[in-house]
Copies of this chain bind each other. A is one copy, B any other.
Amino acid sequence: MKLYNFFRSSASYRVRIALNLKGLQYEHVPIHLRRDGGEQHLSTYKVLNPQEIIPTLEDDGRIVTQSLAIIEYLEERCPEPPLLPHDPADRALVRSMALAVACEIHPLQNLRVLNYLKDVLRHSEEETQAWGRHWITLGLTALEQIVQAVPERGNFCFGNTPTLADLSLVPQLYNARRFSCDLSACPTLVQIDATCRALPAFANAAPENQPDAE
């Protein structure tokens, strides 16, 4: 397997954790995102991923894009250890937590959106950072309430083993710290994040431990 990814990309980070938890070896192919252009726009990469975003997984000649689709693919191909619970309503709860990050927070604070705010709408660095903090804080505060309400919670977002929800949470908290967000309203998420990051599968997927880290 090859994973086209970038050390700092939180969507890439999610997939790296999944690969590590499932014990799957992969080749790390760095795609360098840059403020002005970037390798995701190269014609050789666009053939694999017309959205010009990362990550992209190549497995046995098949190309899979979108981090959550990649993780569901890995879950179906390599079911152990499971990243989703067994019961359909529980699976839906875990998926909804992951989507609360992937659909409501991350899309609003990624690089191309920040670039549009600066380059087209002429906002300052401070206004752009405040935009990012607003959406991250709003989304994580809601997620904190969702996680607190889970009766079966245990040490992770759901239960006592990492799920798709934790794979989405940890990279988003990494971003929250980059944006200097106030996380005092999210004590449960902060605790789960610390528990996760103590595990080798999460630690080895962290941005600072990637071969392309700056």
Contacts and interface: CB of A to CB of B under 8 A. Distances in A.
Number of copies of this chain in the oligomer? 2
A100 B66 contact: yes
A89 B116 CA distance: 33
Contact of A100 (B51, B95, B149): B51
Interface string A99-143: 110111011100001001000110100010001001000010011
Given A50-B145, A100-B51, A92 B116 contact: no
A37 interface: no
Contacts of A52: 142
A146 B106 CA distance: 22
Given A53-B104, A100-B51, A91 B73 contact: yes
A161 interface: no
Q: Is the interface of A mostly helix, strand, loop or mixed?
A: helix
Contacts of A92: 62, 64, 69-70, 72-73
Contacts of A62: 89, 92
List 10 tightest A-B contacts by C-beta distance, closest first: A73-B92, A50-B145, A69-B95, A107-B107, A66-B96, A69-B96, A66-B99, A76-B88, A62-B89, A51-B142
Interface of A: 50-53, 59, 62, 64-66, 68-70, 72-73, 76-77, 88-89, 91-93, 95-96, 99-100, 102-104, 106-108, 113, 116, 120-121, 123, 127, 131, 134, 139, 142-143, 145-146, 149
